[in-house]
Structure 1
C-alpha cells in the first residue's frame, strides 16, 4: 500500500525556497537520442511524451520512500532542529536542507530520446518503486503541483513503464486539446498574479511515438490510480491533473478513483 503523499514529500526532499528544486543526482538519468538503449535489471524506466507546442514544461514525479528512508529523514530533522536555536519554530513545520537520498525527480524536455513533431519523447532511468505524478515546471524547478488531485503508478525493475502523453495549456483561455476539457477557459480567475496552467495526461495509445531501438516487449502501459489532495508549501501554484476516463474523476472537491468508485482521501 502506498504511504500518504504528504508523508513522502516530507521524507527525502531538499527543502528550499519556492519553487521546489529537484536535486541533481544519480537517482535519475535521461537517455538521449543516439544512445544505445540497454535496460539495467536493477533499474526501472519511465517513458513519457511532453507536448512542447505551448511551452517546454517538465514533468515532476515523486517516489514513495521506504520506512528506512523515513527514519533516516526523521533522525536528520531532529538533529537539525536541536541545533537550530530559538527561532526554529515548531518541529512540525521546521524546514532544513536534507542531504539524504532524494525522491523528487524531473523529466525534462531538453534531454530527449526522440522528437515526434512537437512531442518531446523522454525515456528516463529511475529507481524502482511507487511514484506520484506530482506536478509540472521548468527544468528541475516545480512551478505547479497537482495538489488537488493526481495519479500514482509503479515502476518495476528491468522494464519500461509508459506514462503516455502530457498536454499543457493556459487555464484562463480555450484549448483545442480534448483531454483538457473542463480545465481551461476559466477566465480572469486563472490569471491574476500568476497564470494558472491546465495539464492533462493521456494514457498510452497504440499509435504513440516510440524511441528507436527500444524493445516493445519491455514496455508496459502504466497502471494508474487516483491520489487525493495534499499540501505543498514549496510550490508557486496549485491545481489538479485533468480527469482521466476510467482512472481519475472529480466530484466537486472530491477526488474519485474510478476503478473502485471510492474517494481518494486527502493525505
Structure 2
C-alpha cells in the first residue's frame, strides 16, 4: 500500500518532468519512437524500424528502457548541462533578490524575508534520468493478436539495445502498477528491419498457502521470465516474410526504483545470469 501511495504521488511529478522543456532554448531530445503494431488483416513493417515480439499467457505489461549509445549519452549530457546552467542563472537572480530583501528587512522592523533559495549543485540538481526519456511500455492493452490462452504483442521501436525494466504499466498521468527489476535484469538488441522474439511469459508460480497462515503467499523467482516459444508455436502468418531473430539476453546491473513500485529482479536464467545473494553473476562472459 505504501508503494502504491508513493507511486500515485510521484506519477504527476514524473509526467510533468517529462513534458516540461529541459532548457528554455531547446526541445527535449527524442531517444525512442515506439508504437504498438495494430491488429489489422495486412501488416506493413518499416525496414528502418526494429520490432519486438512478445507472447504471454494472459494480458501482461512489460516496461523497457533503451540503453544509451555513446551519441545518446553525449546528447543527454549536453542537454542536462544546459538545464543545469539555466538553473544556476535562475538561482543567481533569486539569490540577489533574497539579499536585497534581507537588507531591506534589517532596516525596516516587521518586514518579512523570503525563504533563502537553495543553490543548485551537481549533487542536488534533479534532472529526468535517461531511462525515463527512453522508455517503451508494451501491453497489457493493444494486443497484436489474441487467442483463448495467449496474447501476442508486436511493438515498433527505434533500433538499439533495450533493458527489461519491469513488469509494470506506467501510462501518463496514472499511478504506475506492477514491479521493477531494479535488483537485476537483462537486455537485448533490437535490429532494424527485423523482429526480435522475446519468447513467452508464463504466469508466475504461486506457492501453496501454509495451514494457519493468513498472509498472502509470496511469488517465487524460480521460473524463468522468458520461455522460448519453441517450434510448436507458429508465427503469425502476417509476419511470415519478416526476418525473425531469437532474443540474445545479456545481464545488466541495478537501476533506481523510479516509480516507487515493488522491487524485484529477473529470475535466474541458465547461461545468462544467476545471483550470489544480491550480486549478479554474468554467465555469458567467456
TM-score scaled by length of structure 1: 0.70
Residue 51, structure 1, aligned to residue 82, structure 2 = no
Return the alpha-carbon distance in structure 1 between the equivalents of residues 147 and 158 of structure 2. Answer: 26
Secondary structure in 2 aligned to 1:255? strand
Return the alpha-carbon distance in structure 1 between the equivalents of residues 226 and 129 of structure 2. Answer: 31
Q: CA deviation at 1:225?
A: 1.3
Return the alpha-carbon distance in structure 2 between the equivalents of residues 77 and 150 of structure 1. Answer: 26
RMSD: 3.5
Return the alpha-carbon distance in structure 1 between the equivalents of residues 271 and 75 of structure 2. Answer: 38
Report if the CA contact (8 A) 1:73-1:98 is conserved.
Answer: no
Residue aligning to 1:79: 82
Report if the CA contact (8 A) 1:50-1:109 is conserved.
Answer: no
- Distance of aligned partners of 1:76 and 1:31 in 2 relative to their CA distance in 1, 3 Å threshold: same
Q: CA deviation at 1:109?
A: 2.3
Residue aligning to 1:254: 279
**Structure 2 runs not aligned, ≥5 long:** 1-8, 20-29, 92-116, 209-213
Residue aligning to 2:44: 38
Q: CA deviation at 1:82?
A: 3.3
Residue aligning to 2:194: 159
Structure 1 residues 197-206 or 33-42, which shifts more? 197-206
Q: Which of 134, 153, 156 in structure 2 is aligned with 1:122?
A: 153
- How many positions carry a matched residue from both structures? 225
Q: CA deviation at 1:209?
A: 5.2
Structure having the higher Rg: 2
- Distance of aligned partners of 1:149 and 1:246 in 2 relative to their CA distance in 1, 3 Å threshold: same
Task: Map 1:108-119; keep pairs closer than 5 Å.
Answer: 108-119=139-150
Residue aligning to 1:136: 167
Return the alpha-carbon distance in structure 1 between the equivalents of residues 43 and 191 of structure 2. Answer: 17
Q: CA deviation at 1:165?
A: 1.4
- Distance of aligned partners of 1:237 and 1:111 in 2 relative to their CA distance in 1, 3 Å threshold: same
Residue aligning to 1:174: 207
Greater share of helix residues, 1 or 2? 2
Task: Map 1:61-80; keep pairs closer than 5 Å.
Answer: 61-80=64-83
Q: CA deviation at 1:237?
A: 2.0
- Distance of aligned partners of 1:70 and 1:259 in 2 relative to their CA distance in 1, 3 Å threshold: closer
**Structure 1 runs not aligned, ≥5 long:** 1-15, 176-186, 262-267
Structure 1 residues 229-238 or 149-158, which shifts more? 229-238
